[in-house]
Chains A and B, each alone.
Chain A
């Protein structure tokens, strides 16, 4: 049974570059969440979708961040332009209805 799949697992890039993080949720799940985890701020919800529609993006830090879910089996989170303070582990999670969330193993992003 495949879980939530995130790619890449690690990304190192230079400041100013565009970064794209990808997520494949569990088949049949209707909610998808993007989180960011840092030592300083812990785990923060950035945005979540229900049936591919963004419901709440109040956690997106600024206009440099955008997320889309073009279909039920794929979502991406883009940062353009990237900055060193964007360095973090980004997690994608999915769930069905009110069931608990299933997390991917994250993308560790380093912006130099």
Chain B
């Protein structure tokens, strides 16, 4: 297994358009997280899945954001009606379900809204 995979790596979109990102976690990992990181800041938590269930969402996740993990494997994050403030690196991470285990991050999707 090559780790957490995210696609695309870069996305440039016009304001008002919808975008969708994909995350493929490490295969045996049940937990999946989405984070957002802006320049000079640490990653900020957006949402969490355990298998296919979305168990927690940050108040940062406005109504324009939606995430799914339909079969407990890959996940998608969609942003509708993008705004310039949505420009950021979107990071996906996964971890094992058992105990308090470390999360492994993907390389991220860099979104630029113009």
Are A and B subunits of one complex? Answer: no
Which residues of B pack against A, CB within 8 Å? none
